[in-house]
Amino acid sequence: MFGALLLAGLAFGSVNAQDTPSDPTADGVSITVYNQGTALVRDRRTFTLTQGESVLNFTDVAATIDATSVNIKSLTDPDGTRVLEQNYVFDLVDTSALLKRYIDQQIQVTMSDGTMYSGVLLSGAYGDIILREDGGQVVVLHSAEARDVRFPALPDGLITRPTLRWFLESAQGGEQQMEPTYLAGGMTWTADYNLVVARDNSSLDATGWVTVTNTSGAAYPNAQAQAGRR
């Protein structure tokens, strides 16, 4: 188990199109929860797009998303905005992913006793870190005894949260209300009913509650929810 993973810097891949921030203004979320554990999510957000090509990143995504169901449309300028490319990026940063990306590259490992090793990473699998030091000597380090591992930078393609990414072409720049929609699992609903009969049996009070359970990995504050059947 590693005590810490340290990155000397952050280096992200660049694109030719204008990259749009992933924290757009939330305009409203509506969710239809079906009775077999699937929900349809409609999430309206206002993004600032540039005229021409833009890259739109959307990070508030359910971990249980059905990537084949994703769609997005502009509610502001549907005729002038089109999708060039759509990606679901889910290569998340973790110890295993970093070690895989740094095979044949230089890293630094500090053990629990303070001993520091620096060298080219040959393997990071099966609980061991195998380094080739500058002199050519190969050293095998047990991951459980490592206090921290230093990597020069965050490799391209690794992200901290699952992200939907669209490459868009817009006829006009400025704010646009966009509506991404997708299906996600991990959401269910149940209905409970209570009946209270008056003492003299002259009247009956009936109440009903619908309980929605969300284990999709995303929060939907103030969402408009409804139960559906499929």
Q: What are the structural domains, with CATH classification, of the chain? A: 18-91+159-228 (no CATH), 94-151 (2.30.30.100)
Other CB atoms within 10 A of residue 121 CB: 22
What are 171-214's pLDDT values in tens digits?
A: 999 999 999 999 999 999 998 999 999 888 889 899 988 899 99
Residue 3 to residues 112, 145, 225: CA-CA distances in angstroms?
A: 8, 9, 42
Residue pair 63/219 in contact (Cβ under 8 Å)? The answer is: no
Rg (CA), the chain: 25
**CA atoms of 49 and 141, how far apart (whole Å):** 49
Q: Which amino acid is at 193?
A: Y
| H or E stretch covering 117 | strand 116-123
The pair of three-digit structure tokens given for residue 149, joined into one six-digit string? 């591992």
How far apart CA 54 and CA 84 sit, in angstroms, is 10
Q: In angstroms, how far is CA 68 from the centroid of its own chain?
A: 16
Q: Quick one: what percent of the chain has pLDDT higher than 70?
A: 88
Predicted model pTM: 0.67
Give, in order, the Cα–Cα distances in Å from 176 to each of 26, 48, 75, 186. 12, 6, 7, 30
Task: Report yes or no: 123 and 107 within 8 Å, Cβ to Cβ.
Answer: no
pLDDT higher at 183 or 5: 183
Quick one: pLDDT at residue 18?
A: 52
> Is residue 163 predicted with pLDDT exceeding 50?
yes
Confidence label for 8 from pLDDT (cuts 50, 70 and 90): very low
At residue 213, φ and ψ (nearest 5 deg) are -105, 125
93-108 in b/e burial notation, b at 16+ Cβ within 10 A?
eeeeebbebbeeeebb
Rounded to whole angstroms, how far apart are CA atoms 125 and 99?
Answer: 8
